Every structure is written in C-alpha cells, then in structure tokens.
C-alpha cells in the first residue's frame, strides 16, 4: 500500500529520529524469548516466517511470503527516493542448547537428512528477526522523516548458505522493487552494545564438499585382499592440510577443514567405503580456484596411490561467495554510526566466517553493507578480557551461545533503523 505522506520538519540528526520513534522494547523482548525457545532448522522456518510476516502486515507493508521456501519480503512505499532492503536470517541450528536460560530451547526437529535433532538458535538469528521487526516499526512510525521504499526481507536457510539464492531464484525481484542498497547485520561474540563494520572484504567465500572414497571391503585379517578406505582417508585428511601450508601464498587467507569422517563398524572388517565432509574458506577468487583444484587433485591422487579401483565421488554441496562491503557505503554509514554509537563503534577485522547475504545485493548489482553487533554480557566480557581469555567465551554455534537481551536488542534495532535512515537521506 502507499502511505499518505505527512511531512514534518526535517530533523538533521538521524539518531534523534531513532531515539524518538523506537517502540517500547518489552513486547519485542517477549517475541525474542519466544523465538529463542522455538527455533526452526534451515528451510523449515515456517512459524518464524509467519511471526515476521504478520508483524509487517499489521504495519501496512505489502507482504510476500513463501519465497524460496519460507522467505518473507515486505514492501513499504513511502514516496519518491531510494529503495533500501534490510535483511534478517531466520534459521536455527541442530545443536543441543546448554545455556540454562529460562527461555532455552528444548525443541527437536527432523533435519533435511531425515534425522531428528535438538534445535537451537545457536547463531543468534532470533536477535536478527526481532531487531528487524522492531526496526520496521521504527521506520514505519518515523515515515514522515524519510522518503523512499523500504523492504524488509526475512531470509530462510542461511546456515546452509542457500536461502538467499533460493529467494532470488524464486523471483524475489519480480515481486519487489530492486534495491539501491542492501543492509544486513549479525550478532557476534563481542561486548554487548558494540557495533563493528569494515570496508572491503569482511566474510569469506565458503565451499562444502561431500566425498566418498571407495575401497574393497573384506576380512580385517586379510588386508592384502582388500583396499582399505580408512588408510586412504587418514592419509587424505593430513595431506589436505598441505594445501594451505604448501600451496597457498603465505599471508593469503585460506582454510581447509575436514569436519566429518565416517567409515566401518567393526574392528575385524575392512569397510568398502569412507565418507568425508570438507569445508573451504577463501577471500580471493584466484586462491579459491587454486584450493579447490588442489582438493580435487589430492583426493583423486590419494585414491589412485592406494590402488582404489573406483574413482572417488566429490560432490560440491554448498557454495557461497565472499562478502565485500562497499567502501563508499561504509563511509556514509560511519558518518551516522560514529556519532551515535561513539566509543561503542569499532572497526571489524576480516573474518573466516561466511554468509549468503551478499547474493540479495549482487543478484541486482546493488551495493551492500554488512556489520556486526555484540551479544556478550559486559561484565563477562571485561572479566575474560582482563584474564586474556576472550576465546573461552561461547562463540556462535556453541551450545552455550546466549546473547544478553540488554542492550543487545536495542543496539541491533538502533543500528538497523539508523542504517536505513542513512541511505534514505
């Protein structure tokens, strides 16, 4: 729907607009606790999506649902000007929550592989959903102070790095206007109340592989009649580490992780296959190509070296590009964030984590900015810092990951609202 514009005197300080129109936080805290207690696994975010969609509908957004799975996109047209897209991811993780919070999840869900698993908001996407809902309220209430088109996207399946592409492939940009700017944020293991941003590369590209190595099974006492896939697998796991140490230019970022290795069931049986799951993180496209090439070469050559009769299967299961923040947009954002967050505003360091957020922007050639906000209790943070033990604090994906509500949510709401206002002006 088109909102009738009621012009008010222009406030030059965007931070004042956020302060003035920020809603009461209690209802949003209640939503947060509820979302935290009822996380949904990737591609199954049906109820979370319904909560977000209902909120946008109540505000008068034109809401599209079930985009690329459970994706939601709400559009608020508010006169001429820029189109700004704000994105929150919605999915939880197959992790057994051990935070001890009164609103901890005890939920279990059947995952994509058919196995029932404990389910937890271990990456804090519940803070993203809640803060984007509240930011939508701030921007709706303050619509007399800006002009343009606001889009709020609630994205599914970030943890599988395929939800953004699924939304684009399902015609997201046939349903909603193409954005001039795309904005996203993530809660991280940082002191609550802090915000960090960085121009240029901030998150790596991620590539995942499922590998099966074929041997020849038989009696454990007769290895000479068999081809042992466990020996091949063990050699392979060590050899794959030489990609980073021996093939990548020292100082260039690359990570190769073998996160899963499975083979066999009994001590006296040589199994006939072994399964590996691998993950690669890189920034530069050249390094990525080099690492992926080496990975294929080494897997095939190790199998050949052991006389494996069948070639291994190497399935590229997930792939996501690196996240590279637009330099000019980051400068503009800092002009709003620095005076507002003051000493709570810091520079990020490039991370080895990955995101599919950028696809929502690159699909239409739009610039984007992605920033982080902290969720760690201030006292716990200072204590760990004083002891030089910050790494002991639970990180994203830990069963103990528990962002404190105050002032984490308020910081995220303010950052998202302020960023949107910045690019409408």
* Residue 300 CB contacts under 8 Å (≥ 6 apart), including other chains: 311, 312
Inter-residue contact 91 to 120 (CB < 8 Å)? no
Distance CA 368, CA 202 (A): 12
Instruction: Find the shortest distance in angstroms from Cβ 97 to Zn ion.
Output: 14
Convert residues 196-235 into a mask of x (bound to Zn ion by CB under 5 A) and - (unbound). ----------------------------------------
Convert residues 85-124 into a mask of x (bound to Zn ion by CB under 5 A) and - (unbound). --------------------------------------x-
Instruction: Find the shortest distance in angstroms from Cβ 89 to Zn ion.
Output: 6
Q: Is 234 annotated for ligand binding?
A: no
Strand order in the sheet with 273-282: 254-262, 273-282, 205-214, 313-320
For Cα atoms 164, 166, 167, give the angle at the middle one, nearest 5 degrees.
65
User: By Cβ distance, which residue is nearest to Zn ion?
Assistant: 123
Q: Is 186 annotated for ligand binding?
A: yes
The smaller minimum CB distance to Zn ion, of residues 126 and 228, is found at: 126
The smaller minimum CB distance to Zn ion, of residues 282 and 351, is found at: 351
Instruction: Find the shortest distance in angstroms from Cβ 128 to Zn ion.
Output: 8
Instruction: Find the shortest distance in angstroms from Cβ 324 to Zn ion.
Output: 18
Instruction: Find the shortest distance in angstroms from Cβ 396 to Zn ion.
Output: 5
The smaller minimum CB distance to Zn ion, of residues 123 and 402, is found at: 123
The smaller minimum CB distance to Zn ion, of residues 145 and 281, is found at: 281
Q: Is 425 annotated for ligand binding?
A: no
- Window 255 to 314, contacts with Zn ion (CB under 5 A): none
The smaller minimum CB distance to Zn ion, of residues 21 and 401, is found at: 401
Kindly state the tokens that stand for 226.
């068999």
Count of residues interacting with Zn ion (CB under 5 A): 1
The smaller minimum CB distance to Zn ion, of residues 90 and 421, is found at: 90
Instruction: Find the shortest distance in angstroms from Cβ 112 to Zn ion.
Output: 16
> Is 80 exposed, middle or buried (CB count within 10 Å of its CB: 0-12, 13-18, 19+)?
exposed
Instruction: Find the shortest distance in angstroms from Cβ 354 to Zn ion.
Output: 9
Q: What are phi and psi of 35, to 5 degrees?
A: -65, -40
Q: Is 123 annotated for ligand binding?
A: yes
Does 164 sit near Zn ion (CB under 5 A)?
no
Kindly state the tokens that stand for 11.
């406030």
Nearest to 420 by CA among 3, 17, 2, 6: 17
- Window 120 to 159, contacts with Zn ion (CB under 5 A): 123
The smaller minimum CB distance to Zn ion, of residues 183 and 421, is found at: 183
Dihedral through CA 66, CA 120, CA 418, CA 414, nearest 10? 130
* Placement of tokens 């990525």 in the chain: 288
The smaller minimum CB distance to Zn ion, of residues 123 and 292, is found at: 123
Instruction: Find the shortest distance in angstroms from Cβ 162 to Zn ion.
Output: 13
Residue positions in the annotated binding site for Mn(2+)?
Answer: 123, 125, 159, 186
Binding footprint of Zn ion on the chain (CB under 5 A):
123
Annotated binding site: 123, 125, 159, 186
């Amino acid at each position: 729907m088109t909102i009738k514009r009621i012009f008010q005197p222009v406030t030059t300080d965007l931070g004042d607009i956020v302060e003035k129109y920020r809603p009461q936080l209690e209802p949003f805290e209640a939503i947060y606790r509820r979302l935290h207690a009822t996380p949904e696994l990737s591609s199954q975010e049906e109820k979370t999506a319904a909560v977000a969609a209902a909120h946008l509908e109540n505000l008068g957004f034109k809401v599209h649902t079930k985009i690329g799975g459970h994706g939601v996109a709400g559009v608020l047209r508010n006169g001429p000007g820029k189109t700004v897209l704000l994105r929150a991811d919605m999915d939880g993780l197959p992790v057994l929550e051990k935070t001890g919070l009164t609103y901890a999840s005890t939920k279990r869900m059947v995952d994509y592989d058919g196995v029932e698993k404990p389910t937890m908001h271990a990456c804090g996407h519940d803070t993203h959903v809640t803060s984007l809902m509240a930011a939508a309220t701030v921007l709706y209430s303050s619509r007399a102070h800006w002009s343009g088109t606001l889009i709020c996207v609630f994205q599914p399946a970030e943890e599988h790095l395929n939800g953004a592409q699924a939304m684009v492939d399902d015609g997201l940009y046939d349903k909603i206007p193409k954005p001039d700017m795309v904005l996203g944020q993530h809660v991280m293991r940082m002191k609550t109340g802090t915000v960090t941003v960085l121009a240029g590369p901030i998150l790596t590209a991620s590539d995942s592989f499922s590998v099966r190595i074929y041997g020849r099974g038989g009696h454990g006492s007769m290895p000479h009649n068999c081809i042992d896939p466990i020996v091949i697998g063990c050699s392979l796991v060590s050899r794959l580490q030489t990609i980073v140490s021996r093939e990548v230019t020292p100082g260039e970022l690359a990570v190769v992780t073998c996160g899963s290795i499975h083979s066999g069931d009994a001590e006296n049986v040589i199994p006939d296959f072994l399964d590996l799951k691998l993950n690669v993180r890189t920034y530069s496209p050249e390094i990525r190509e080099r690492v992926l090439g080496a990975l294929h070469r080494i897997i095939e050559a190790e199998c050949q070296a052991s006389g494996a009769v069948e070639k291994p299967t190497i399935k590229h299961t997930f792939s996501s590009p690196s996240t590279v923040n637009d330099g000019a947009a980051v400068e503009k954002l800092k002009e709003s964030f620095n005076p507002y967050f003051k000493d709570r505003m810091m520079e990020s360091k490039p991370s080895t984590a990955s995101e599919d957020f950028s696809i929502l922007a690159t699909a239409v050639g739009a610039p984007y900015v992605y920033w982080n906000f902290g969720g760690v209790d201030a006292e716990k943070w200072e204590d760990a810092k004083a002891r030089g033990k910050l790494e002991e604090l639970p990180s994203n994906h830990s069963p103990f990951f528990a962002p404190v509500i105050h002032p984490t949510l308020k910081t995220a709401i303010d950052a998202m609202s302020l960023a949107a206002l910045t690019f409408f002006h």
